[in-house]
Copies of this chain bind each other. A is one copy, B any other.
Amino acid sequence: MANILPMKIINQKTPHLLIDKQKAIRNLKKISVKYRNSGIIFRPHFKTHQSLEIGKWFGTEGVEKITVSSVTMAAYFARNGWNDITIAFPFNIYEYYDIAALAEAARICLTVPSPESARLLADICVTDIDVMIEIDTGDGRSGTEWDDFDTIKSCTDILNSNSNINLKGLLTHSGNTYKAKGAGEIKSIYINTVEKINRSRSVLGITNLLISVGDTPSSSVVTDFGNIDEGRPGNFIFYDLMQNSIGSCNPEDISIVAVCPIVDIRRRAGTMVIYGGGVHLSKESVFIDNRPVFGLAVKLHEKGWDFFPGNNFVTGLSQEHGIITCSGNLLNSYNIGDMIGIIPVHSCLTANLMGEYYLFDGTRIDHL
């Protein structure tokens, strides 16, 4: 057949995600070596990729303990050979019996954020299970505030009242690093986080409690992890525009790109319309030049992508449409029917929407 269709990178017709495996493995090695050299347990968060195949890349790096953010994810990985899984999301009592079933086959660790949550678990729990108490060290999302010592103590008492529960440690997500700008600010938030959670433990006086901290910005820029036992970053395997804007990574570290067909070029308006909308990229945005940005256009080639000179951001997203506001010569370098790459703002959400990945050789990679 004549080559009627424009060239594709791989054999896909609609928006899809490509992984530069070399970059992903480089990111993985960099972070895992850091934890290993620090003598800290590396328990990466698999909510970012949600992939058995990518899980194998972690296994090759010696990873055996993992973090997930839902019981469904825990089940996906437990069914496929992972047997030490922390569910770093507040205990949802409706899923107790599913968790109990999982705990028959794998070592499952739950998270409880407060005495009320601990009470629900202690009243129902008839299976041996590990539990972390979630401490809020400044993020303000969930967990008991680090300095509310009486309440933390109350959590430990309630959990210890049920002999099936093994109180394992204190867990925090220092998600306040996501509001940081630059490595300096990330580091100072990290130091503050570690100080606070250590203070929570020392006031409790239960010295064998493990301390678990997790977020990609600090795992990326901190060189001395200080007095913690476990790290749970996740996003670093891919990185994205948001991590770049925080200061966690360079653009060259980002290992994932959405491939989108160009379906309209509006030369008067200086915009390109891509097949790639909110149902592909997610509506997550970062503010750049005082406007929300939903992605960055890059030039695809057969083995990866290059950055264009100047910024060509996705500045509008509806359900299926994306709008690239073009600078420089971009409009004249493309035709309708070409494929263009979009670096996502938040790779976890984009991967969740796309539901699968490909490598540049066309290999399909699973996603839960």
Residues of A within 8 A of B (CB): 4-6, 8, 13-14, 47, 69-72, 89-96, 98, 113-114, 116-117, 120, 123-124, 140-143, 145, 148, 175, 261, 263-266, 268-269, 271, 273, 275, 278-279, 282-285, 316, 318-321, 323, 335-337, 346, 348-349, 352-353
When the two chains form their complex, are residues A278 and B14 in contact, meaning their CB atoms are under 8 A apart? no
When the two chains form their complex, are residues B116 and A335 in contact, meaning their CB atoms are under 8 A apart? yes
Residues of chain B within 8 A (CB-CB) of A98 are: 13
What's the minimum C-beta distance from A3 to chain B, rounded to whole angstroms?
12
What's the minimum C-beta distance from A143 to chain B, rounded to whole angstroms?
7
Which of A264, A316, A320, A349 is the most central at the interface, judged by chain B CB atoms within 10 Å of its CB?
Answer: A264
Task: List 15 extra interface pairs beyond A14-B94, A94-B261, CB under 8 A.
Answer: A47-B319, A47-B320, A90-B275, A113-B264, A114-B265, A114-B336, A116-B265, A116-B335, A116-B336, A140-B271, A142-B263, A142-B266, A145-B268, A319-B349, A353-B353
Task: Identify the closest chain B residue to A268 (Cβ).
Answer: B145
Residues of chain B within 8 A (CB-CB) of A319 are: 47, 69, 348-349, 352
**A346 to B279 CA separation, bound complex (whole angstroms):** 12
Which of A72, A124, A283, A336 is the most central at the interface, judged by chain B CB atoms within 10 Å of its CB?
Answer: A336
**A250 to B336 CA separation, bound complex (whole angstroms):** 41
**A120 to B265 CA separation, bound complex (whole angstroms):** 13
When the two chains form their complex, are residues A337 and B120 in contact, meaning their CB atoms are under 8 A apart? yes
24 contacting pairs across A/B (C-beta < 8 A): A5-B124, A13-B92, A14-B72, A14-B92, A47-B320, A69-B319, A89-B275, A89-B320, A90-B264, A93-B261, A93-B336, A94-B261, A94-B337, A113-B273, A120-B337, A140-B269, A140-B271, A141-B316, A145-B268, A282-B282, A282-B283, A283-B283, A283-B346, A319-B349
When the two chains form their complex, are residues B142 and A95 in contact, meaning their CB atoms are under 8 A apart? no
With A4-B123, A273-B142, A336-B120 in contact, is A261–B148 under 8 Å at CB?
A: no
Q: Which of B321, B335, B337, B349 contacts A279 (CB 8 A)?
A: B349
What's the minimum C-beta distance from A180 to chain B, rounded to whole angstroms?
16
What's the minimum C-beta distance from A190 to chain B, rounded to whole angstroms?
19
**A5 to B349 CA separation, bound complex (whole angstroms):** 31
